[in-house]
Amino acid sequence: MNKNYIFIDRDDTLIIDKEYLSDPAGVEFPKGSIAGLKRLRDAGYGIILITNQSGIGRGYFTEDDLAAVHRRLKELLANEGLELAAIYYCPHAPDANCDCRKPKTGMLKAACKDFDIDLKNTAMFGDGKADIQLAKNFGITAIQITNGKKGPLPDADFVAETLDDAVVWFLQQHP
Ligand SMILES: [Mg+2]
Ligand SMILES: [Zn+2]
């Protein structure tokens, strides 16, 4: 049986945005994040992280710093019985004109090569315009999580305050 997968943004979606986070001790989950991930896990979904990390291209931190942050993230998730199927990140600065920086679709294309993903049964969960536009560019459902910080984006298919609320809606659409 094929496993299902969803795509999720990192900063201000899965974890609290600390702006160019390079300290593993700064990894913190917003309200509803862990609950939403557990709900997805229990419904049989693998979780694929899709994140722009231009702090590397801008020289603010290194790939090793990012790896340390992601090790901490995975450790905290493991404590909750959670895991990520994969992490894709774009390390490039905006002016590098790469194919992977959201809202470009390079990371989703790479994930689709690595995993058998049913595009009718997935969604991009994110807080930013680039996440919503990425979903539109790839032809998948766009779900915005505001965490009470941002107003609704017009192109989002659904807007929720927390990841948990977003996942409840998504699972209703995919019974
Ligand atoms: Mg974000
Ligand atoms: Zn890139």
User: pLDDT of 126-136, one tens digit each?
Assistant: 999 999 999 99
Residues annotated catalytic, as ranges: 9, 11
Per-residue pLDDT band at 90 (split at 50, 70, 90)? very high
Q: How far is the CA of 1 from the centre of ligand 1 (A)?
A: 32
Distance 150 CA to ligand 1 centre (A): 11
Question: Residue 11 Cα, ligand 1 centroid: separation in angstroms?
Answer: 4
Token output for 175: 């019974």
Contact 24, 65 (CB under 8 A): no
CA 30 to chain centre: 13
Please name which ligand lies nearest the alpha carbon of 90.
Answer: 2
Tell me the C-alpha distance between 162 and 1, whole Å.
Answer: 30
pLDDT at 2 over 70: no
User: Do residues 122 and 142 make contact, with C-beta atoms less than 8 angstroms apart?
Assistant: no
CA of 174 to the centre of ligand 2 (A): 31
pLDDT bin (cut points 50, 70, 90) of residue 1 is very low
pLDDT at 94: 96
Q: Which one is predicted more confidently, 3 or 30?
A: 30
Please report which ligand is nearest the Cα atom of 149.
1
* Peptide bond connecting 103 to the previous residue in cis, omega within 30 degrees of 0: yes
Gap between the terminal Cα atoms of the chain: 16
For 70, the 3-state DSSP assignment is helix
Contacts of 7 (CB under 8 A, 6+ apart): 48, 49, 50, 108, 111, 122, 123, 124, 125, 140
In whole angstroms, give the CA distance from residue 37 to residue 125. 11
**Tokens of residue 22, six digits:** 């390079």
Say which ligand is closest to the CA of 92.
2
Domains in the chain, please, with CATH?
Answer: 4-123 (3.40.50.1000)
